[in-house]
Amino acid sequence: MTTQELIEQIKIKKSFLCIGLDVDLNKIPKHLLKEDDPIFVFNKAIIDATHHLCVAYKPNTAFYEAYGIKGWKSLEKTINYLNENYPEIFTVADAKRGDIGNTSTMYAKAFFDDLAFDSVTVAPYMGKDSVEPFLTFKNKHTIMLALTSNQGAFDFQTKTVDGKELYKQVLETSKSWNNSENLMYVVGATKAEYFADIRKIIPNSFLLVPGVGAQGGNLQEVCKYGMSDNVGLLINSSRGIIYASSNADYAQAAAEKAQELQNEMEIIIKNK
Ligand SMILES: O=c1ccn([C@@H]2O[C@H](COP(=O)(O)O)[C@@H](O)[C@H]2O)c(=O)[nH]1
């Protein structure tokens, strides 16, 4: 999917919601556990009930890898279901990869060619040659960790190196990389006070913003400082939506939570 197509979807749906598909077999309704593939059955019901309210889905691969080959199969079925039934939806493989160049190329092939995700999250710690292989894929997006939502973000990311905070160096330096137009960045919703500074460096790039919902990030604050002319935000909520109910009404309950966020987003877009 191109960035322009994503922008169009945000306009059509009046939503910039990304729903996280972080499926934990200990948290899904018990009756699903008798299914052959409970993860896929859960995801399919959530997707069918919420697709009109969001523009993106983000399975975190850890929640699939934890279940071995069966989990990876569930991930494959989920991305295929999305691509076949809802091709207008932007998909994020939250895998946080990145390695020496030839290895990164294989990671990129796994998520862009084999699984056909629109984007993958990448850690920038190994630098330019570890990220550029992802950027060579046409109409695919590399979402690089910049300032993460967790407390540990203060261990390294906000430390000053050569007179500038590390996360700012990541943003600035990456702008000069080959095919940097394919870059998006992760910035945590729990770090709302940093968004204004971030927008000075990357005024138009899309930001994937986890941390609304279970982690306590504030949607209004993020939008106040983080919105670009084209919205430029994908606000992710995972547990806050998909585990709204642990009973048979789980998909309906997820839709109600997603609807609340979409309502809020519609007003924000209108008042922009
Ligand atoms: O800085 C980051 C980067 C990634 N994540 C991931 O996003 C979701 C958040 O889930 P919630 O249940 O809405 O808290 C999850 O997959 C994280 O691994 C993040 O939280 N922060």
Active site residue 96: yes
Which of 14, 77, 96, 128 is catalytic? The answer is: 96
What DSSP character marks residue 209?
E
Is the CB of 217 within 6 Å of ligand 1? no
Is the CB of 124 within 6 Å of ligand 1? no
Query: Total domain count for the chain?
Result: 1
pTM of structure: 0.98
CATH number at residue 23: 3.20.20.70
Atom index in ligand 1 nearest the CA of residue 63 equals 16
What percentage of the chain has pLDDT greater than the value 90?
Answer: 99
pLDDT tens per residue across span 16-66: 999 999 999 999 999 999 999 999 999 999 999 999 999 999 999 999 999
Is the CB of 59 within 6 Å of ligand 1? no
pLDDT tens per residue across span 207-259: 999 999 889 999 999 999 999 999 999 999 999 999 999 999 999 999 999 99
Instruction: Determine phi and psi for 186, rounding to 5 degrees.
Output: -90, 125
Which residues have C-beta within 8 Å of that of residue 155, sequence separation ≥ 6? none
Of 17, 22, 194, the one to substitute when testing ligand 1's pocket (max ligand atoms within 8 A of C-beta) is: 22
The torsion defined by the Cα of 68, 213, 171 and 194, in degrees rounded to 10, comes to -150
Band the pLDDT of 107: cuts 50, 70, 90.
very high
Instruction: Determine phi and psi for 220, rounding to 5 degrees.
Output: -60, -45
Distance (angstroms) between ligand 1 centre and the Cα of 210 equals: 5
200's tokens: 């000075």
pLDDT tens per residue across span 167-181: 999 999 999 999 999
